[in-house]
Structure 1
């Protein structure tokens, strides 16, 4: 009996000790949480960004807290702050997960203390007026999934190589800033990336082949930089999930590599570079393509066959060195709305099959060496309000009668090697020009001004006749 009483006493004592310890721990946690909450409230108040502070800080605009009253989200997107970012003491928010200060009119540099937000998964400082360089402390934000610092214009310096430590990152946008130097090869460690935007900076160097490791990438935009060298085939060939690829307005050279593995590709923009060689024969077998812009390069060879691109809506091959004829198979791209092949060395006749492309809204075949007559059936395109430019070619003959009816303009008089007037312009005829021996006829302005000139002439002549009649009728009275 004594043993049982002793055991019971010991158990009771242990229970009391544990209860006291738990109570002390809970009190300490509560005190710590209260202290942390008080610190966060003071930091928010000290920034001067909140006006109504009569309630608990967890109820302020854009603030969310957890069950302990600690701030987990600050979202002031599109809130007119117009203040320095440093006014907010970022080191006071250890539990912050979501920080969105986009479009707030913030200025100044990004404070080093941002690296203390180690639980952060979402960070957007886009479309402000921030300056300076990216702090290296960003490398501490290893939980980041979304990072957007785009549209600040004046964030400068190089992209820190330590950005490669943000291995949970899925979205990265550094575009429209003033970054210089090369794209760091450490970007290849961001294997969870689905979107990479670094356009409109001053980046130089070549495209690092390490970007080929980003196999989850869906969107990549490196346009409007000073990137040089060839497009690495080993890089792009691995990005099998890529849908949007924009490398336009750089200094890229060499040929277009095979993109046959990019079966999901819908948008391809390589315009305004120095790309040479011919267009890969397998490019237009990517049947998901909807938008292709290869304009303003030095691409040679023939116009590729595009009959397999059922979804193609936009194709611009203008201002290159393409030769040969326009394929009759172009009509199979029944969804095509924009076709630009101007500024090349194309020859032969305009295929009548173009008239079957009922979705076509823009057709520019100008500045080539096309010959023959203008197909009468093209009138069906213009009847739909399409913009058509055939100027600066070697076309001859008269403008088809149906064109003159739908869009009064000038026709070519092939016997006198000069233009004769067919009919005045209608105002709706905006961009159809014909040309003989590389002389352009800018007919819209002439067509609009000519009727006005005739009308003014009639008014002046009528006024003069009226004055003469009045003078004649009044002259007998004067004699009397």
Structure 2
């Protein structure tokens, strides 16, 4: 027995435990009922009337959006589930009101509905990284609870609505990369809580600081590449929370107030590329100890550069392209984190020895000092800057030798010391700089020989040693520089030949310049293998022999200078393939014979100099020969004719004696060939008649093509097996086959298709008279009846291993670089010019689109599929032209074709413009985003000139705009050059695809702009 008091205690404990269990159960029961009640209330939303308002607003928002996301982001926005659990929607737990709408990067297009203003509890609205168009709805101003608004990376247009001032709690506002325009509304001053204001790359204008100077909570303002004006007020000193100011590429003017440099929180300051001027405050920086990025380049600042000893955190000092004078200030040794020092192209003076003060900057990677008045000798202490990647000290007065220690800079990728007064020789161990990509020592007084060790620089892409006093021969080790694109040895005293293996390596040159030396002998055959060569200069040497016939393989050549040598003989007829040539100089040689007629078919843009040779006979009068200021023929006493401005004698029988002999010989040869062809044709026709008559009775077609039998093609394609098909369409299928040991493409026309016969005849007749490197080459044609008695028509083409451009843009064949895309654009333009202007019976293609552009092994573009082609002037057999009426592909066909207009060259130019825009944007003109009157032309035009990066093909952005060379990220200048190239291509595409034919750009002008863009792009490689 327990004591009584223990019994009492036990009873009390039991009672308390029981009571606790009951209370716990009741609490759990209440909680469960609440959860059940909440779950049951979700579908109705009637417990809070505002819920229905939000749901209706969301449905209205959805109604104006188009969902392109593979997973269908908006598919969950339906009545089967409560709107608070729709994709991208977040509600508060208390009222089930929508507080967050996050639909960023969701593949959405369309417009922003004004109903968004009915989401009155909204705190966060993220719609960035989509393709939204239209204006920012003013109804956003009713969202007084809104704190975060991100609309960046869209296609929004118009002005920023003044009603946005109603968002009085807004802290984060990002509208960069749109097409917004006009001045900031004065009402925005009400956004006093704003902390983050980003407006990059729009078309905004007017004063900026008038609006933002009272945003005392502002931490970051970023508005580069707009057109903001006005000055930076002294009141900026009150914005003590500012840590980042980026306003490059605007039109800000005036001087910088000293209060700017007393912002204690400031870390990044970028005011480059504005209209700022005056001197920097001498006492700046007392409080700016946290400043890391100091960008003031491309303004008009003058005076001396102040001492910046208080900027102890500096990492980048960018002051190039101003008017700073005086000495470089001391104190850089304290900037232990300094990575970039850009002082080039100012008026700075003093001894280059100030580099000694940089030896403690162990993180320094970019040092640019070019374009100043520095003098003295490069100190050997430069060898201590072991982290330097980019060093430019050219365009200055420095002299002496390259310090031997410079070869210790093993991280160096660019060494540019051109246009100075360096002497002595290039260090023999320069090959130790194995990461070097650019070596530019042009216009100095360097002597000696070119070091053999240059052959160790396998990454070298640009080598410029021009305008020095280099001697002896060019070393054969150059062949080991496998990445070389640009090689310039001009204006030296080099001798010897070019047959010492210099070009036996795998380098793919774009520019070679050996002009003004003492080189001799013939040009080596290896140069002819440089099929990417755009410029070849061998002027003023002692080269001799015939002009190399193999040079015709260099079909990318634009500039050819061979003047001032001892070349003799005729200009090879094979040079007719050099259709890209813009300028030729063959002057001061011993060339002879007639001026080749093909020179009048090459669209030379600049000039043709044939002066001081021994040419004879008549001078053509068309193309470049019609421009007296572009043709030079002095010193050729045997020439006659030409345009009157050349003042040449008229051609007489004596003048043409040799030509008449040649003409007679040609007639005899042609007569023999035609006679033989007639005999062969007769025999063939007899044999054919013994079998069954060919489907085509056209005599021209019969003489031209009837060479390949059905059985031969059946065998070549494995019985026309499905495994051999490489493409198909309504008019037929294309098979890959092996014919006589060569890989070919066999296009078999579908005999059941109503236009098969016309398409076959159109392609035959378009291509039988057209031969150009950028047209798909037809090997032969076959029109017969197969063994089952079926009509059979086929064309055999040169096989294009890289398939169609359409597959590269929209399929899975990989990515193309920007350089390749521009090259394709130029290739197609050359093909069109040839078809429209350079053959006897001009042709319009009428179906130019990516699927009809084929790419060979070197990614050279070839225009194919001439099934809809039409002769502009009737050929011998008028029935061979394709039919009239609307032909082409929707989206690519010119708008006037839909109104019944006749085929024209302007129609092809329109299609070409659309093709260019598709090349850069990656968007087809039939993309779902283009509806009603909105099209690809308008989409691209709206992005010009400053928003092009918002519309480019994502694959292009990932590839070229983030390009790396080895382990080097592309520099800002290189990226800007790419942006300029993209802008040029889009500008040409927009101009070519104008609605009215007479407003479209000429193809010759398009080629000039595209080639210039490509050249500038190559200059950054």
TM-score above 0.5:
yes
Instruction: Quote the residue 1:359 is aligned against.
Output: 411
Distance in 1 (CA, whole Å) between partners of 2:187 and 2:308 is 31
Cα gap change, 1:313 to 1:106, in 2 (>3 Å): same
3-state SS of the aligned residue for 1:157? strand
Output aligned runs, 1:212-361, within 5 Å: 212-235=237-260, 237-251=261-275, 252-255=299-302, 256-273=305-322, 278-282=327-331, 285-303=334-352, 304-305=354-355, 306-361=358-413
Distance in 2 (CA, whole Å) between partners of 1:332 and 1:254 is 31
Of 203, 206, 213 in structure 2, the residue corresponding to residue 178 of structure 1 is 203
1:37 matched to 2:51? The reply is yes
Cα gap change, 1:261 to 1:134, in 2 (>3 Å): farther
Cα gap change, 1:287 to 1:216, in 2 (>3 Å): farther
2:124 touches 2:149 (CA, 8 Å); kept in 1? yes
Cα gap change, 1:190 to 1:387, in 2 (>3 Å): same
Cα gap change, 1:137 to 1:165, in 2 (>3 Å): same
2:467 touches 2:490 (CA, 8 Å); kept in 1? no
CA displacement at 1:41 relative to structure 2: 0.8
3-state SS of the aligned residue for 2:338? coil
Moved more, 422-431 or 101-110: 422-431
Structure 1: where are the runs of 5+ without partners?
A: 1-29, 461-480
CA displacement at 1:137 relative to structure 2: 2.8
1:198 matched to 2:223? The reply is yes
Distance in 1 (CA, whole Å) between partners of 2:371 and 2:47 is 66
Distance in 2 (CA, whole Å) between partners of 1:347 and 1:207 is 42
Instruction: Quote the residue 2:173 is aligned against.
Output: 147
3-state SS of the aligned residue for 1:123? strand
3-state SS of the aligned residue for 1:350? coil
2:470 touches 2:493 (CA, 8 Å); kept in 1? no
Distance in 2 (CA, whole Å) between partners of 1:259 and 1:144 is 37
Deviations 1:367-403 (A, max 9, x none): 333233222343211x234432222222222233433
Of 126, 130, 150 in structure 2, the residue corresponding to residue 100 of structure 1 is 126
1:428 matched to 2:482? The reply is yes
Cα gap change, 1:58 to 1:406, in 2 (>3 Å): closer
1:132 matched to 2:161? The reply is no
Instruction: Quote the residue 1:471 is aligned against.
Output: none
CA displacement at 1:292 relative to structure 2: 3.3
Deviations 1:176-235 (A, max 9, x none): 011122331453333433332110111233333433444443332211122334444441
Moved more, 272-281 or 354-363: 272-281
Of 78, 84, 88 in structure 2, the residue corresponding to residue 53 of structure 1 is 78
1:228 touches 1:253 (CA, 8 Å); kept in 2? no
Deviations 1:437-472 (A, max 9, x none): 7999xx964399956148899999xxxxxxxxxxxx
Cα gap change, 1:218 to 1:349, in 2 (>3 Å): farther
3-state SS of the aligned residue for 1:446? strand
Instruction: Quote the residue 2:526 is aligned against.
Output: 452
Distance in 2 (CA, whole Å) between partners of 1:325 and 1:217 is 43
Distance in 2 (CA, whole Å) between partners of 1:410 and 1:155 is 45
CA displacement at 1:101 relative to structure 2: 0.8
Distance in 2 (CA, whole Å) between partners of 1:431 and 1:278 is 38
3-state SS of the aligned residue for 1:109? coil
CA displacement at 1:239 relative to structure 2: 3.5
Cα gap change, 1:234 to 1:349, in 2 (>3 Å): farther
CA displacement at 1:99 relative to structure 2: 0.6
Cα gap change, 1:421 to 1:284, in 2 (>3 Å): same
CA displacement at 1:63 relative to structure 2: 0.6
Q: What is the TM-score when the length of structure 1 is the normalising length?
A: 0.75
3-state SS of the aligned residue for 2:183? coil
1:183 touches 1:208 (CA, 8 Å); kept in 2? no
Deviations 1:89-130 (A, max 9, x none): 232122111111112212222222222222222110111111
Cα gap change, 1:178 to 1:161, in 2 (>3 Å): same
Of 434, 440, 454 in structure 2, the residue corresponding to residue 403 of structure 1 is 454
Instruction: Quote the residue 2:445 is aligned against.
Output: 394
CA displacement at 1:79 relative to structure 2: 2.0
Cα gap change, 1:297 to 1:188, in 2 (>3 Å): farther
Distance in 2 (CA, whole Å) between partners of 1:294 and 1:413 is 26
CA displacement at 1:318 relative to structure 2: 3.5
Larger-gyration structure (1/2): 2
CA displacement at 1:33 relative to structure 2: 6.8
Moved more, 343-352 or 196-205: 343-352
3-state SS of the aligned residue for 2:235? helix
Distance in 1 (CA, whole Å) between partners of 2:237 and 2:492 is 46
Deviations 1:285-330 (A, max 9, x none): 4322223334455555555432232222223334445444434333
CA displacement at 1:73 relative to structure 2: 0.5
Cα gap change, 1:447 to 1:184, in 2 (>3 Å): closer
Cα gap change, 1:118 to 1:104, in 2 (>3 Å): same
Distance in 2 (CA, whole Å) between partners of 1:198 and 1:413 is 44
Cα gap change, 1:433 to 1:81, in 2 (>3 Å): closer
Distance in 1 (CA, whole Å) between partners of 2:247 and 2:435 is 37
3-state SS of the aligned residue for 1:339? strand
Q: What is the TM-score when the length of structure 2 is the normalising length?
A: 0.38
Distance in 2 (CA, whole Å) between partners of 1:370 and 1:127 is 49
CA displacement at 1:433 relative to structure 2: 6.5
3-state SS of the aligned residue for 1:106? strand
Distance in 1 (CA, whole Å) between partners of 2:318 and 2:344 is 9
Cα gap change, 1:432 to 1:453, in 2 (>3 Å): closer
Instruction: Quote the residue 1:474 is aligned against.
Output: none
1:208 matched to 2:233? The reply is yes
3-state SS of the aligned residue for 1:347? strand
Distance in 1 (CA, whole Å) between partners of 2:194 and 2:144 is 14
1:399 touches 1:410 (CA, 8 Å); kept in 2? no
Distance in 2 (CA, whole Å) between partners of 1:356 and 1:214 is 47
Cα gap change, 1:432 to 1:83, in 2 (>3 Å): closer
1:78 matched to 2:110? The reply is no
Cα gap change, 1:140 to 1:75, in 2 (>3 Å): same
Instruction: Quote the residue 2:709 is aligned against.
Output: none
1:250 touches 1:273 (CA, 8 Å); kept in 2? no
CA displacement at 1:45 relative to structure 2: 0.5
